[in-house]
Amino acid sequence: MDASAKRPRISAAVLWVSYVISAVPVGMMIFSAVLKLFPNVVAEGFDHLGWPLGLAGSLAVVEFGCVIIYLIPRTAVLGAVLIAGYLGGATATHVRVGDAGFFAPTVLGVLAWLGLWLREPRLRALIPFRSK
């Protein structure tokens, strides 16, 4: 018996909703990573957050890596963990400087997990929502 025969079926609508939800943090992280490849664009933001501008390229590579791992179905859960870690650091950075921008990375992390939770039955079994 093939492994896909054992997996619960997901409706096409739920699958597409999960893709749309997941596209939001993926798109934002790719956009953020691309901006970091142009240090003159992010210099003011890095200065405000207290990060050395020399880390922009390294952070872009980390963001790209997290997204790639998240987009591969076999490694998506690891990708979600890495994205949550990265965005948790972003949240902490914004909170540290008293910036209200902490809300965006928090929401993106939640959306990354929600999108994966909707399309991954094993994750729904691990983290069930119960009505009682």
pLDDT tens for 79-88 read 999 999 999 9
Query: Cβ(102)–Cβ(109) under 8 Å?
Result: no
Residue 3 inside a domain? The answer is: no
Residue 66 inside a domain? The answer is: yes
Choose between 9 and 97: higher pLDDT.
97
Exposure of 39 by Cβ count < 10 A (0-12 exposed, 13-18 middle, 19+ buried)? middle
Residue 89 inside a domain? The answer is: yes
Confidence (pLDDT) at 3: 55
> What is the extent of the structural domain holding 94?
12-126
Confidence (pLDDT) at 34: 98
Q: Give the ranges where the chain is alpha helix by DSSP (H).
A: 3-6, 12-36, 39-49, 56-71, 76-96, 103-119, 121-126
DSSP state, residue 50? T
Share of the chain above pLDDT 70, in %: 92
- Give the predicted TM-score (pTM) of the model: 0.88
Confidence (pLDDT) at 132: 62
Residue 19 inside a domain? The answer is: yes
Q: How many domains does one find in the chain?
A: 1
Confidence (pLDDT) at 85: 97
Please report which confidence band the pLDDT of residue 126 belongs to, taking 50, 70 and 90 as the band edges: confident
